Amino acid sequence: MIKAKRRFPDFKYLFSLIEWKLPSIRRNKTKVASALTIAELAKIAKKRVPKVVFDYVDGSALDEVSYQRSRNAFNNVEFVAHTLKDVSKIDTSVEILGKKSDLPIIFAPTGYTRLMHHLGEPVVAEVAAENNLIYSLSTMGTTSPGELAEQVQGVRRWFQLYVMQNRQDSLSIISQAKDAGFEALILTVDTPVSGIRYRDIKNGLTIPPRIKLRTVFAIATKPIWWFNLITTKRLEFAAFKGWNKPMTELAAAIFDPSTKFEDLSWLQSVWSGPIIVKGVQNLDDAKKLAGMGVAGIVLSNHGGRQLERGPVPLELLPEVVAAVGDKVEIYVDGAVLSGQDVYAAITLGAKAVFIGRAYLYGLMAGGKDGVQKVIEILERDLINTMALTGASSIAEGQKFGARIRSN
């Protein structure tokens, strides 16, 4: 019988294994820094901001089926794995509209960003600049094109536009983007009307938030968020100063249900730079847009926030790439929450992915540090997945391809 040979404990060695670190007084900063997934950041975010704010980011249209279908599609992707490949060096960079981006990731335009964190769009753009990524500013943002350009000068800037019912309003915003040196326009086309979002309706979402009896309790439970709200500049839409009505009324004023393909021709006549069309949901529209000379197409269901039970962008991606991928850059968005999701879209043919919810979770959780953490998580997972599939570059991963399982 084999018996263990005992010895006197080596306390010096034991003490060398102990990490002698004092507890941090900045507990939230520590939690954000130690988060391993976007889901963990979302849990932190939920505790940091009022319910109305978290639900605006986290929710989608009606019964939220479209968003869940998008998540299911990503979960059903199966990669092609090659072994005995040299993956000692992984190159995650891509060229987007002729310029290098360090990751195949674009910060999507998101409205009301200072609602999530008082520093808003500029700190997100700073993270984009520091990681050599593209930042997209929304028409419904809380920072104007000029303010963003002044505060964050080194970032590639795209501007998201709705063709508004009053074309002069659109022209005014286009002029601001042009004067501020924005590189491209993103025309959003999946909003002829606003989607019905039960969470926002029940919560009575407005900009700025209205003080009601139930708001008093929210202030008591989220004092830091409220303190930042009332001690920084007034929260309002940069393009619609003075607006103080429900979101549904603002959407009705902005979204034009009569917008047609001819309006894209009008936009091309007043904007000389690249135009990316976001919200494309079928192959025929993609073909027509490619024929009209747009620079890029974003296959998107608006993060599941518009048409409920609409097409899943990731499932649509392969056939659109096969049909027009040689004529126009194809991007995809909706439910991207990991580096594996990024790689899934890339291997199915996308040039890059747009992220929205993911970085807003980070922003709510920890401001700029939270957004940076999101990029670190996505990059870590992307590099790991590329190495495990044998891809040393994005181009090689695209050659390997992937498939979406039917179950």
Omega within 30 of 0 (cis) for the link into 208: yes
Nearest Cα to Cα of residue 381 among 33, 35, 37, 39 = 37
Task: Report in angstroms the alpha-carbon separations of 112 from 57, 107, 209.
Answer: 10, 15, 11
Burial of 123 (0-12, 13-18, 19+ CB in 10 A): buried
CB count within 10 Å of CB 320 equals 24
**AA letter at 314:** L
Q: Which residues pair with 354 in a beta bridge?
A: 106, 333
Nearest Cα to Cα of residue 90 among 353, 336, 379 = 379
Tokens of 138: 């929304």
Q: Supply φ then ψ for residue 390, to 5 degrees.
A: 85, 15
CB of 137 closer than 8 Å to CB of 121: yes
Q: Which listed residue (82, 117, 118, 302) is catalytic? A: 302
- Please indicate whether residue 302 is annotated as part of the active site: yes
Which residues are catalytic, by number?
302
